[in-house]
Structure 1
Amino acid sequence: MAVTSAPEKSVSPIVVPGQLTLRTIRGKNGPFTVGRLATHLGVFEVKDPELEQYPEGKYDGEFIIRYIFPKSYPVGGGMRFEIRASLDGMTLNGIDKLSRDEARSFATQDVDPLDEELGTQPAAAPAKPAKTSRPAKPAPVQASADPLVDTTPFGVDAPPPAAAAASGGTEDGDAVLFSLLWPLGETVRLDSTIDRRTLRAQVARLRELGYEMNPKTQEWSRQAELQPA
């Protein structure tokens, strides 16, 4: 079990200049983003949901630190300890690419923040069961046309509504996924206070629809289609 000290909130947030380095890591839940903030106060790990929207790179700017707290969690058969900063906002000036050494400075076995929020850890591969006689194939479950009737078989986790809607890529699915943001305009500002899984689905769908994140405005903008020469 991870040992975590409760975050101690400051009387007022602290605004500091610094550089935020973001790294995208591939995990069992898909890609996730972790950050490292270097300031004159020290170097802190950052895993706020807001970072899920930004591409990998180095960002100079001013950062509003809400609180700083120690964090420890099991990883790779041991424990990892780090000092984290929780951000209350930021103003970014631009983005630079990561060097190979900078990318390697991040732990490739870093725990997905989504797993932390759900209280789960990557499970070990299950042992291979012994061969037994094949049981009779169960009858298929018919889905009900009534949306209020749950036809999910017992013991099977149904995907969240937002994730299920996003997988379809239809207009109705997009309306469910983006909720009050639908219909989308030329620019979109996502709400990073929603659950992280839904935020990731929104980010992935915006990229599919041709939107691109502008770090300076912190908004997604629809990219104009290239005109033939």
Structure 2
Amino acid sequence: MITIKGQLAIRTVSGRLGLFNVGRLATSIGEFTIKDALLDQYQEGKYQGDFAIKQIRPSYYSHGGRLVVEIRAELEGMTLDEVTTLSEEDEEQLSTNVPDPLEEETATPLASPPVSEPATQKTSNSALASDEPFGMEPKTPAATIDTAADAELFGTVWPLTETVKLDTTVDRKRLRAQCSRMEQLGYSMDFKTQTWNRKAA
């Protein structure tokens, strides 16, 4: 494993299975494609920092009748210092015509139980008869906690506290569901500490 300074550009792509992130890491020893699951926690942007690389290997996929070969780096971890918006050049280098890494993974049975995202509270007809003045929309209810489903989804990090560090070694599908649920529950990601913090009311 090596640790090296670099710049990681992350772009969000809309795929068949939903949104996912892809990255391109520029370092003094070369540029590498990054498709690690931990990227799905981050917002689109260009991040400066130190990157621990555990493996560099060639990878390929077919797209639109052509074979695409890329040099992929797998990250052990990273320490990020600052973030800026993507430039037009960055966006050009990070193509949106890429397969979802979730589809690349083999369909082997997962050791963890199936992931089910807790449903948010729905407004019933009785909720429409609110105490709001005539003509005003009733307040949208905040996401409610479904204790059993959330406990299953988050596993060892449940119950959630004010600050949560997700386990990025879980399978990619589960991590994406956890990130989505964290946003529903009013958390935001701090890229420097790599933790989710509950937003102030």
Structure 2 match to 1:103 = 91
The equivalences for 1:41-80 within 5 A come to 41-80=29-68
Overall identity of the aligned pairs, in %: 49
2:114 equivalent among 161, 166, 189: 161
The equivalences for 1:4-153 within 5 A come to 13-118=1-106
Q: Is the Cα contact below 8 Å between 2:36 and 2:74 reproduced in 1?
A: yes
Structure 2 match to 1:192 = 168
2:114 maps to a residue whose letter is P
Q: Is the Cα contact below 8 Å between 2:56 and 2:71 reproduced in 1?
A: yes
CA deviation after TM superposition for structure 1 residue 45, in Å = 0.3
Give structure 2 stretches of 5+ with no counterpart: 108-112, 121-145
Q: Is the Cα contact below 8 Å between 2:187 and 2:196 reproduced in 1?
A: yes
Structure 1 match to 2:177 = 201
Q: Which one has a bigger Cα radius of gyration?
A: 1
The equivalences for 1:209-220 within 5 A come to 209-220=185-196
Structure 2 match to 1:151 = none
Give the distance between the partners of 1:207 and 1:172, measured in 2 at CA: 18
2:150 maps to a residue whose letter is D
SS at 1:52 equivalent: helix
Cα shift readout 1:123-154 (whole Å, capped 9, x = no counterpart): xxxxxxxxxxxxxxxxxxxxxxxxxxxxxxxx
Q: Assess, with a 3 A threshold, how the Cα gap between structure 1 residues 167 and 75 changes in structure 2: closer, same or farther.
A: farther
Q: Is the Cα contact below 8 Å between 2:59 and 2:70 reproduced in 1?
A: yes
Q: Is the Cα contact below 8 Å between 1:76 and 1:109 reproduced in 2?
A: no
**Number of aligned residue pairs:** 171
Structure 2 match to 1:176 = 152
CA deviation after TM superposition for structure 1 residue 167, in Å = 4.2
RMSD: 1.3
CA deviation after TM superposition for structure 1 residue 14, in Å = 0.9
Give the distance between the partners of 2:50 and 2:96, measured in 1 at CA: 27
1:168 maps to a residue whose letter is A
Q: Assess, with a 3 A threshold, how the Cα gap between structure 1 residues 16 and 27 changes in structure 2: closer, same or farther.
A: same
Structure 1 match to 2:142 = none
SS at 2:46 equivalent: strand
Give structure 1 stretches of 5+ with no counterpart: 1-12, 120-159
